[in-house]
Amino acid sequence: MAVELQHYRGQVSILTRIELFFDLLFGSYMRDYPKRSAGRIKGERKFDPDRQWVFLGSKTSMISVATKSTLYAVLSDPAVDTTYFTPNGYFHRKTRLTESLRWLNAFVFDLDVHGESVQDVLDRCDRAGLPRPTAIVKTPSGGYHVHFFFRDSIRATKKTVRLYTAIMGHIANDLEADLAAVGANRIFRTPTEESLVYFQPVNRYSFDMFKEWREINHPFEPSSGRIVSLHTENLMDHPAVQRLLTMPCSYGQRDIVAFNLALAMKASGWTQQEAEVALRHWYDRYCAKGAPAGKKPFSQRDAIYKAQYVYRNSRLQAPKAEMIRTLSGMEFSYSARIRGESAKPRSERERSHLCEWGEDLLSLLHAEKELSGTQQELAERMKCPIASFKLVLRQLKDAGKIIVESRKGRGGVTIIRLPEEPELPAAKDELQYEKTSVQKTHVETLVVIHADFRQRKVMRIDRIHRCEQLQLPDPDPPD
């Protein structure tokens, strides 16, 4: 096996399946060895916008590594606890938060199934319309962690993390995976030679492929200019939520139950102080105390922190109905009414939309027919940022609504004008007919009559074609 898997990428030799697993996962933006340079020796540190830190260890204590050589050394050291790891990378070595993510490297799902084989897991992927996973890691509880590696890591912007989490939630729902393990900032079991029961390095996919999967299987219908406002009866009065609030809560569920209870209290209109008091009472009376050996205990302070976190985050409004059904084992659903909210007028906004800048430019062109000057001068005249002006200019030009001419060099200017209106075709109801022979040969003539008014008689009559120049006689001198 060592001979078959041995290959070189940079300077690190890959000898085991586990090393190949992490090389494919992190190798794109992870150095082989720590960078040693004169600048570093002198204490000068250069910012690296691509370096990612990954974490390994237990749930309570994790260490960060940023090079493959360090990663492989930690994995091979039996004295270091490497039970869990983070599949995604962070930009800070000491902060493992969603806000600290730098690279999204893979989708990982937790299947809490018992008695199923690897083939059963692959069948789940087939039924969900998903490709075959890159790796499957068997957990000590009998479940599986299913990995889908990205061909190219994705920069973890706020928008991308939201999309990543949304797609991950849909896939987890279709795979019947643990929804509590959905998120970009999750930890999973570190694979070993024994637990890595399925590994196909060629099965790596682009993030766009999963976006297309979401569009086909779970199409998103945006509601522009609308916000979701809950107008429901008190969720805390529902039997399923009451059961969560009063049933004994054992190890492994205390964190997620406290979080969803805090969400239900917020959606029901409770104040933060009321929620903290209720969670304190729930912890004292119904929550299991202590923790299994080697685990961090769940304290009353942790329960109260859930309420503080939920009420501080404006994006958290209500619990997922499916999560309440899963935790309580009872039917649960609630209705949400969508309330329309009209957009603010332009005078009340600090920024304008691109379509509004485009309308301003077209109105100015209709008034002046042509604009000339540097793009900076034209943008200042419209009181528009230069970047937005260039974008609007390109959009209108591509749409054929304006004609743009650029003259480069010293004194170069940009000339903008409206395109000429095309000639309208003949009306369909206008009859087309062939001219007769008389009409074709007919030439319009001019009749000139010469008369002597003194003698009161006509001297002669001339017929002149329209195309000929009329030669008038010299007038007689006046009397």
The pLDDT tens digits for 360-386 are 888 888 888 888 888 888 888 888 888
For the cut 80, the answer to whether the pLDDT of residue 441 exceeds it is no
407-431 as b/e: b if 16+ CB within 10 A? eeeeeeebebeeeeeeeeeeeeeee
d(CA 109, CA 87) in angstroms, rounded, equals 11
pLDDT (average), residues 456-478 = 63
303: burial class by Cβ within 10 Å (0-12, 13-18, 19+)?
buried
Half-sphere exposure of 89 (CA within 13 A, CB side): 22
pLDDT band at 466 (very low <50, low <70, confident <90, very high): low
pLDDT (average), residues 159-188 = 90
Residue 112 lies in a domain: yes
Half-sphere exposure of 452 (CA within 13 A, CB side): 5
pLDDT of residue 336: 64
- Domain of 283? 227-338
For the cut 90, the answer to whether the pLDDT of residue 150 exceeds it is yes
Give the CA-trace dihedral at 226, 227, 232, 238, to 10 degrees: 130
Whether residues 118 and 250 fall in one domain: no
- The one-letter amino acid at 300: Q
- Choose between 189 and 323: higher pLDDT: 189
For the cut 90, the answer to whether the pLDDT of residue 203 exceeds it is yes
For helices 239-246 and 254-267, angle between their N-to-C axes, nearest 10 degrees: 140
Q: What is the CATH number of the domain that holds 166?
A: 3.30.70.1790
For the record, the structure tokens of 151 come out as: 């061909």
User: What pTM, to 2 d.p., does this model score?
Assistant: 0.55
- The one-letter amino acid at 372: S
3-state helix, strand, coil in the chain (%, to 5): 40, 20, 45
Q: What is the CATH number of the domain that holds 395?
A: 3.30.56.130
- Choose between 56 and 476: higher pLDDT: 56
Q: Where does 383-422 have alpha helices with state H?
A: 386-398
Whether residues 198 and 246 fall in one domain: no
pLDDT of residue 449: 75
Residue 445 lies in a domain: no
pLDDT of residue 211: 92
Residue 436 lies in a domain: no
For the cut 80, the answer to whether the pLDDT of residue 160 exceeds it is yes
- Choose between 448 and 113: higher pLDDT: 113
Residue 183 lies in a domain: yes
- The one-letter amino acid at 411: G
pLDDT (average), residues 141-165 = 92
Residue 344 lies in a domain: no
d(CA 396, CA 361) in angstroms, rounded, equals 9
pLDDT band at 40 (very low <50, low <70, confident <90, very high): low
Nearest alpha-carbon partner for 359 in 398, 413, 402:
402
pLDDT of residue 471: 56
- Domain end (from 338, 370, 398): 338
pLDDT (average), residues 317-331 = 84
pLDDT (average), residues 193-213 = 93
Whether residues 131 and 234 fall in one domain: no
d(CA 112, CA 88) in angstroms, rounded, equals 22
pLDDT band at 98 (very low <50, low <70, confident <90, very high): confident
3-class state of residue 228 by DSSP: strand
d(CA 371, CA 26) in angstroms, rounded, equals 53
Residue 287 lies in a domain: yes
To 5 degrees, how large is the angle CA 162–CA 168–CA 169? 90
What φ, ψ does residue 403 adopt, rounded to 5°?
-115, 125
Question: How many CB atoms are closer than 10 A to CB 156?
Answer: 24
Whether residues 326 and 395 fall in one domain: no
Question: Hey, which of 12-16, 49-53, 86-90 has the most confident mean pLDDT?
Answer: 86-90
Whether residues 266 and 370 fall in one domain: no
pLDDT (average), residues 332-350 = 69
First to last CA, the chain: 131
Half-sphere exposure of 353 (CA within 13 A, CB side): 7
| Dihedral sign of CA atoms 467, 468, 474, 479 in order | negative
Whether residues 283 and 375 fall in one domain: no
pLDDT of residue 197: 94
315: burial class by Cβ within 10 Å (0-12, 13-18, 19+)?
exposed
For the cut 70, the answer to whether the pLDDT of residue 201 exceeds it is yes
d(CA 182, CA 162) in angstroms, rounded, equals 12
pLDDT of residue 354: 85
For the record, the structure tokens of 373 come out as: 């000057």
Whether residues 60 and 182 fall in one domain: yes
For the cut 50, the answer to whether the pLDDT of residue 134 exceeds it is yes
d(CA 127, CA 167) in angstroms, rounded, equals 17
Mean pLDDT of the chain: 81
Whether residues 112 and 147 fall in one domain: yes
Query: For the chain, how many structural domains are there in total?
Result: 3
Whether residues 196 and 325 fall in one domain: no
Residue 457 lies in a domain: no
Whether residues 69 and 213 fall in one domain: yes
pLDDT band at 5 (very low <50, low <70, confident <90, very high): very low
To 5 degrees, how large is the angle CA 158–CA 97–CA 169? 60
- The one-letter amino acid at 5: L
Residue 458 lies in a domain: no
For the cut 50, the answer to whether the pLDDT of residue 9 exceeds it is no
Q: Where does 218-299 have alpha helices with state H?
A: 239-246, 254-267, 272-286
pLDDT of residue 225: 40
For the cut 70, the answer to whether the pLDDT of residue 139 exceeds it is yes
Pairing of strands 337-340, 226-229: antiparallel
Whether residues 295 and 188 fall in one domain: no
d(CA 421, CA 369) in angstroms, rounded, equals 13
- Domain end (from 417, 432, 449): 417
pLDDT (average), residues 432-443 = 55
Pick the range with the lowest mean pLDDT from 87-96, 189-198, 415-424, 465-474: 465-474
Whether residues 144 and 284 fall in one domain: no
- Domain end (from 217, 237, 269): 217
For the cut 90, the answer to whether the pLDDT of residue 146 exceeds it is yes
pLDDT (average), residues 347-360 = 84
Residues 253-298: tens digit of each pLDDT = 888 899 999 999 998 889 999 999 999 999 988 888 887 776 778 8
Question: Hey, which of 15-24, 26-35, 140-149 has the most confident mean pLDDT?
Answer: 140-149
Pick the range with the lowest mean pLDDT from 42-56, 79-93, 112-126, 420-434: 420-434
Half-sphere exposure of 109 (CA within 13 A, CB side): 26
d(CA 116, CA 118) in angstroms, rounded, equals 7
pLDDT of residue 111: 92
pLDDT of residue 226: 40
Q: What is the DSSP letter of 270?
A: -
Contact 262, 279 (CB under 8 A): yes
